[in-house]
């Protein structure tokens, strides 16, 4: 079995690849562990949950809120969960974020692990220990950083993943390649989504490579003082338009990455915007949208990554080499305005 280990500040996390869901019984005690999942995943893979204590939450970002945590806590009490209870999140990023957070607060902290079921959770959300919930319009406002004991990968779970969720996950994969791995970017340029959907071995390799990229970046900078910020490529503008225009996260960051490439052309030696845009499009992602520049800029000014008069923005020096640059707000306004009107 292919296995990887990453040592983070608080814990060593073990990643099991090609293991299969049934391997979970070797990692935790089936009698006392509690699995947490959402109703879509439960419905699609009901057999796998046979014999396990399971808490099923409603699916979707709208339920990544404190009310869901409260209901989970009540169910944990009903199940007799104590400090030794192991919590396993089986799901997409909503379930893994919620599981990590519930595990952090119940009895001041339970051990937990993940079985990610979406591409996005496999390559992104379940890695790095950030967890949390949304409060009103503020995404991920409340949460902690705490690493899971393990991640168990079962690719067969992806059979039921809707196509738009595959596409959204590939937005993060293209992001990883753009900031860190030129060879991976070339591979993505050559292939297309249906290739990875059909070729299990190629998909497993792709997922592992992305797991390594994110884990390495996080390991070097768990608490986001330096390189971890590279993972925000496309996310600054992305988050602003995601909330304003009801785009999916993948669509929003795809547009954000295209814009960040255009800004890079102005501020670094970057010359490959066309290649990034072509690749995003190839995987079914949008690279432009109609939006109100003023409205977007107002939201951007509220961004967490803003410092007084400037903002840390992730740009590309070249494909495979991301860089964080502090851009004065006045200049950023102008750049974004020209990008928006250029569309
Ligand atoms: N903690 C982090 O570092 C981090 C990083 C990136 C994203 N996130 C969070 O992750 C969340 C997004 O993750 P997501 O895109 O996986 O969302 P999600 O968990 O909502 O899953 C998307 C949809 O796909 C369904 N689904 C998932 N796996 C399935 C499967 N195998 N079969 C059938 N249906 C399946 C879900 O029920 C849901 O309807 C956001 O809340 C985001 O904030 C966290
Ligand atoms: Zn993202």
* pLDDT tens figures, 137-163: 788 899 999 999 999 999 999 999 999
Task: Determine contact, residues 49/180, Cβ cutoff 8 Å.
Answer: no
Does pLDDT of 343 surpass 70?
no
Q: Whose CA is nearest to atom 18 of ligand 1?
A: 92
> ∠ CA 69-217-59 to the nearest 5 degrees?
25
Atom of ligand 1 nearest to the CA of 172: 6
**pTM of the full structure:** 0.96
CA 33 / ligand 2 centre spacing (Å) = 30
Q: Whose CA is nearest to atom 22 of ligand 1?
A: 92
How does strand 53-57 pair with strand 87-91? unpaired
Q: Whose CA is nearest to atom 7 of ligand 1?
A: 125
Atom of ligand 1 nearest to the CA of 118: 28
Closest ligand (CA of 93): 1
DSSP readout, 206-271?
A: HHHHHHHHHHHHHHHTTTSSSGGGGGGTTHHHHHHHHHHHT--HHHHHHHHHHHHHHHHHHHSS--
CA 332 / ligand 1 centre spacing (Å) = 31
Task: Determine contact, residues 180/132, Cβ cutoff 8 Å.
Answer: no
How does strand 321-328 pair with strand 310-318? antiparallel
Question: What does the pLDDT look like over 250-309, one tens digit per residue?
Answer: 999 999 999 999 999 999 999 999 999 999 999 999 998 777 777 887 888 776 666 778
């Amino acid at each position: 079995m292919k296995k990887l280990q990453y040592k983070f500040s608080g814990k060593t996390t073990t990643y099991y690849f090609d293991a299969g869901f049934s391997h979970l019984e070797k990692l935790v005690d089936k009698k006392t562990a509690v699995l947490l999942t959402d109703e879509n995943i439960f419905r699609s893979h009901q057999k796998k949950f046979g014999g396990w204590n399971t808490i099923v939450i409603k699916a979707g970002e709208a339920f990544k809120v404190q009310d869901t945590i409260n209901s989970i806590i009540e169910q944990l009490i009903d199940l007799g969960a104590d400090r030794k209870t192991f919590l396993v999140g089986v799901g997409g990023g909503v379930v893994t974020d919620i599981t990590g957070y519930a595990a952090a607060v119940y009895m001041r902290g339970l051990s937990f692990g993940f079985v990610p079921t979406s591409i996005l959770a496999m390559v992104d959300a379940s890695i790095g220990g950030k967890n949390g919930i949304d409060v009103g319009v503020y995404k991920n406002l409340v949460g902690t950083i705490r690493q899971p004991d393990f991640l168990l990968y079962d690719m067969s779970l992806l059979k039921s993943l809707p196509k738009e969720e595959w596409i959204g996950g590939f937005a993060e994969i293209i992001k990883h390649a753009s900031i860190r791995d030129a060879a991976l970017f070339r591979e993505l340029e050559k292939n297309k989504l249906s290739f990875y959907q059909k070729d299990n071995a190629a998909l497993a390799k792709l997922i592992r490579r992305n797991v390594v990229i994110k884990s390495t970046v996080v390991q070097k900078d768990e608490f986001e003082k330096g390189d971890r910020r590279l993972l925000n490529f496309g996310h600054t503008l992305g988050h602003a338009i995601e909330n304003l225009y009801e785009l999916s996260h993948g669509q929003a960051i795809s547009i954000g990455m295209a814009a960040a490439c255009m800004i890079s052309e102005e501020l670094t030696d970057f010359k490959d915007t066309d290649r990034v845009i072509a690749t995003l499009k190839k995987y079914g992602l949008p690279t432009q949208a109609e939006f109100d520049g003023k409205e977007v800029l107002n939201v951007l000014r509220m961004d967490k990554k803003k410092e007084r008069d400037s903002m840390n923005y992730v740009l590309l020096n070249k494909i495979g080499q991301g860089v964080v640059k502090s851009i004065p707000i006045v200049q950023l306004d102008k750049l974004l305005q020209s990008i928006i009107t250029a569309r």
